[in-house]
Amino acid sequence: MRNSILVTSDLKSVILVDTQQDDQRLAIGKRGVLLSVLGTDVCATEVPAELDKYINLALRNLKPFYEFDVADAAKNQLCITYNDVNNAVFIIGIRDIDVSLTAPMEVNKEKVTTFAVKMKDDPTIGLASTKVILARLESPVGGIGGAKFIRFYHVPANASIEQSRL
């Protein structure tokens, strides 16, 4: 079962954890990575150039539901996991953790952000989710000092982008 996606410490890739295949690094920069559900497995793929127009239209006037500041990778952790029973992708960001911890310690809830995205209305109906999550490394418009964020968008998986966005 595929149920976890890890962000590499160099922040250039995500790795789809699959018990049946080797390392599957996917570039998160520029175009990003699409996360979806097929059957009861989470799937991930790099956005190909052929989808640029579709993605640009889908993102018009759409704000990310979560952005993770990657300024200090040594103190931040990002995890993406899928739970097939709840049919949800969980995105968990932890920031400003003291890396010199020597014993188990509870992380302050103010430092942890968790989002849950339900992928299908019913996990037993349909083959694929009707929406996908786009995750990509971005710099803010007019970004100062090279600030970067991994931003997450919830976008339609098919060509029926709302006409009000076009």
> pLDDT tens per residue, the chain (166 residues)?
455 677 776 767 777 666 555 556 778 887 999 988 887 777 888 899 999 999 989 998 899 999 988 876 667 788 888 887 778 888 888 887 766 667 787 888 888 999 999 888 777 777 888 889 999 988 876 656 667 888 999 998 875 555 444 4
Pairs from 98-104 (Cβ < 8 Å, separation ≥ 24):
99/74, 99/75
Domain range list for the chain: 4-165
> What sign does the dihedral 140-142-147-148 (CA atoms) show?
positive
Whether the model pTM is above 0.85: no
What Cα–Cα distance (Å) separates residue 109 from each residue in 54, 67, 106, 159? Answer: 37, 17, 9, 39
**Residue 86, both tokens:** 């709840």
Query: With DSSP H G I counted as helix, E B as strand and the rest as coil, what are the percentages for the chain, rounded to 5?
Result: 10, 40, 50
